[in-house]
Chain A
Amino acid sequence: EVHLVESGGGLVQPGGSLRLSCAASGFPFSNYDMHWVRQATGKGLEWVSTIGITGDTYYPGSVKGRFTISRENAKNSLYLQMNSLRAGDTAVYYCVRDGGSGYDSWGQGTLVTVSS
Chain B
Amino acid sequence: QSVLTQPPSVSGAPGQRVTISCTGTSSNIGAGYDVHWYQQLPGTAPKLLIYDNSNRPSGVPDRFSGSKSGTSASLAITGLQAEDEADYYCQSYDSSLSGSVFGGGTKLTVL
Question: A44-B89, A47-B99 given as contacts; is B45 within 8 A of A103 (CB)?
Answer: no
Residue of A44, A50, A58, A101 with most partner-chain B CB within 10 A: A44
Evaluate contact between B105 and A108: CB separation under 8 angstroms. Answer: no
A102 adjacent to B104 (CB under 8 Å): no
The interface size of chain B toward A, counting residues with CB under 8 Å, comes to: 24
- For residue A87, CB closer than 8 A to chain B, the reply is no
List which A33-79 residues lie within 8 A (CB) of chain B: 35, 44-47, 50, 58-61
Residues of B within 8 A of A99 (CB): 48, 51
Instruction: Name the A residues within 8 Å of B91 (CB-CB).
Output: 45, 102-103
A-B contact count (CB 8 A): 56
Does any Cβ of A come within 8 Å of B84's Cβ?
A: no
Which B residues are in CB contact (< 8 Å) with A106? 45-47
- B57 an interface residue at 8 Å Cβ cutoff? yes
> How many Å from the CB of A44 to the closest CB on chain B?
4
| 1/0 contact string of B87-111 vs chain A (CB within 8 Å) | 0010100000111111111000000
Q: Does A9 have its Cβ within 8 Å of any Cβ on chain B?
A: no
Chain B residues with CB under 8 A of A108: 45
Contact of B38 among A35, A45, A60 (CB under 8 A): A45
CB-defined interface of B69-80 with A at 8 Å, one 1/0 digit per residue?
Answer: 000000000000
CA A106 – CA B50 in complex, angstroms? Answer: 15
Asked whether A29 is an interface residue with its Cβ less than 8 Å from the other chain, the reply is: no
Interface membership of A104, Cβ < 8 A = yes
Decide yes or no whether A107 CB sits under 8 A from chain B: yes
Quick one: which of A45, A60, A61 contacts B46, CB cutoff 8 A?
A45
Contact of A44 among B2, B57, B97, B98 (CB under 8 A): B2
Can you list 19 A-B contacts with CB-CB less than 8 angstroms, sorted by A residue number? A35-B100, A44-B2, A44-B102, A47-B100, A47-B101, A47-B102, A58-B99, A99-B48, A99-B51, A101-B34, A101-B36, A102-B36, A102-B48, A102-B52, A103-B36, A104-B48, A104-B51, A106-B46, A109-B45
Residues of B within 8 A of A (CB): 2, 34, 36, 38, 45-48, 50-52, 55, 57, 89, 91, 97-105
